[in-house]
Structure 1
Amino acid sequence: MKLCRYEYQSNHYYGEWTEEGLKPFKGDLFSGREATGETHDHADVTLLAPVEPEKIIGIGANYVGDKKDLPDTQPEIPVFFYKPASSLVGSGAEVRIPEGVDEIKFESELAVVIGKRTKNIEENEVLDSILGYTVGNDVTAPQFFHEAGHWTVGKSFDTFTPLGPAIQTDLDPLNVYVKAFVNGDEKQNSKSDLMIVSLKRMVSYLSKVMTLEPGDVILTGSPLGAEFVKKGDKVECTIDEIGTLENTFTK
């Protein structure tokens, strides 16, 4: 099932994405998902970021280029950082390059959406805590890594976390290809089994640090190939089983 959040006639809905249209729920994604019986045409809606998370957590430097480069043992502590909810936008929204920012990068990622309150779980329990998966673009201004000495500033500007277009609930997270295209040219295309820290490891670890709430998002890291972009560039982050997250960069 593909789940989404969208605007229709100035109202916001959660619903199921189908070929026929979007079928709204009476509540949100976490309260039974009872259908209203209506169908809203694709042409009449605007897709929004599929969830409104309390926390957006990113995992850094988490891909290799080839399986032979994977370490024999996973790092004990994943490198992670926060992104504010104010950085969130949906597919089709513009990503604004802030004044004074010299260079900006896209980073296509598989994103985990937490489905229930999760605390202190082991790796074999992780999949039971996941609602589904979506596509994320961890937009980054690397110049602030050096100026501030940490990652958060360079990843926290408004519009720096495009997410969408939908949440796929039926997905093998170790068997998808994470892709990115800039103005139609392929820049990233790696299988998710090239992650250094596994999806189960990162979710389990984070649950032992903090309580993960329904709707929280974990960006699992970006494959090799991320590049700098400029005003006017269109970036498409794609996972075939989920869809394409499309955003244009503006100044």
Structure 2
Amino acid sequence: MKLIRFKKDDEEKNGLLINGGLVEIPHSLLEASLSPFDDLERKDFYLLDEVKILPPVKPSKVVCVGLNYQDHAEELGMVIPDEPVLFLKPPTTVIGHEDQIIYPPQSHQVDYEAEVAVVIGRQARFVNQDDALDYVAGYTALNDVTARDLQQKDGQWTRAKSFDTFCPIGPWIETELDPSNQKICMKVNGEMKQNSNTENMIFPVEELISFISHIMTLQAGDVIATGTPPGVGSMQVGDVAEVNIEGIGILKNEIISH
């Protein structure tokens, strides 16, 4: 089931992707006590080109994982970490499908990073791995945009990861997905740049949720970006980046100048 946030006639709505379009549902995915199929027959049907697709959630935080693909570690010649390496993106980085990534004037190297994102469905604190997937609302695609030159210059990651528009998410949430075995790709201007599978993750989704929840409380709507596979590279103004996650869909964004 694919759930979507969208805007129609300047009003934000929640929807369910069905029959090549979407139908409005009376509440968000995160209101777990309600069914997304309530009163569908009384709701309007829209074609996707009739609406503005919004980011599928409004997270209080985006928790990102560095170096979480075996093949990416091999590409870089780096030692596999004993524990997940974490960093945060502020909510002001979040944009949606077909929104524009702004290339900041402070940077001369802005990179793409295709990732599978986990959307948390309810508050999670001190979660055991065996129960971790019970806290997942669904999955979506994410581009962890990074000012690589600033990351190297600063010696830490906050500035490089935190520019406005540096976290495209979308286009919707897939509620029924096996995150352990899905193809993950990045294309720039139609050319394949990253091509891997989530089976190459070092730390699987349930381990990440448990690990993070023992550090910070995860709220409903929070996002975990699960790391990127090999093939990371730069984007230029005018480029179009497409994250394609098997079972989810394509997240597409153009890069523009400030």
TM over 0.5: yes
Selected match of 2:110 from 99, 104, 118:
104
Pairwise CA RMSD: 1.9
Q: Indicate conservation of the 8 Å contact 1:67/1:194, yes or no.
A: no
Q: Which amino acid aligns with 2:152?
A: H
Give SS of 1:121's match.
Answer: coil
Give SS of 2:141's match.
Answer: strand
Deviations 1:133-168 (A, max 9, x none): 000000000122233221121010000000001110
- Alpha-carbon distance between aligned partners in 2 of 1:116 and 1:222, rounded to the nearest angstrom: 25
Give SS of 1:128's match.
Answer: helix
> How many percent identity over aligned positions?
36
**How is 1:104-183 mapped onto 2 (pairs within 5 angstroms)?**
104-183=110-189
Aligned length: 248
Q: Which amino acid aligns with 1:167?
A: I
Give SS of 1:153's match.
Answer: helix
Q: What is the deviation of 1:28? A: 1.8
Counterpart residue number, 2:216:
210
Counterpart residue number, 2:71:
65
Q: What is the deviation of 1:109? A: 0.3
Counterpart residue number, 2:243:
237
Q: Report whether the alignment pairs 1:30 with 2:30.
A: yes
Q: Report whether the alignment pairs 1:246 with 2:216.
A: no
**How is 1:39-78 mapped onto 2 (pairs within 5 angstroms)?**
39-65=45-71, 75-78=81-84
Structure 2: gaps spanning 5 or more residues? none
Q: What is the deviation of 1:238? A: 0.2
Selected match of 2:202 from 196, 208, 222:
196
Q: Name the structure where strand makes up a greater proportion of residues.
A: 2
Q: Which amino acid aligns with 1:62?
A: N
TM-score (norm 1): 0.94
- Alpha-carbon distance between aligned partners in 2 of 1:207 and 1:67, rounded to the nearest angstrom: 25
TM-score (norm 2): 0.91
Q: Indicate conservation of the 8 Å contact 2:72/2:228, yes or no.
A: no
Give SS of 2:70's match.
Answer: coil
Q: What is the deviation of 1:75? A: 4.4
Give SS of 1:181's match.
Answer: strand
Structure 1: gaps spanning 5 or more residues? none
